[in-house]
Structure 1
Amino acid sequence: MGSLVLYVSTLTLVHYVLEGLKRIYKEGIEYKKAGILLDGICPAHSQQYH
């Protein structure tokens, strides 16, 4: 399976994350703080093509 390469800025990524959260957030539910780790993210100009 090949790699998926996306070319987005941090602002674009944050925009879509917030849009997704708005869609799944439910009023009255007690949420807890959590984190995620995005690995392998690098500037588009540093990509190597085979």
Structure 2
Amino acid sequence: MEQAVVNINAALEALANAQRAGDFAGQGQALEDLQAAVDAYQAAQQAGE
């Protein structure tokens, strides 16, 4: 679960950086990464890790 939190934070930072740069492709990738990290966090939470 700890790694999932790290991944969520990294995706949020990447999203913010892409938004500041006006990088729409980067924003899309960051949103995909964020969703994957949230999914991993939820799966770990349900598994009781």
TM-score (normalised: structure 2) = 0.37
The structure showing larger relative contact order (alpha-carbon pairs under 8 Å, at least 6 residues apart) is 1
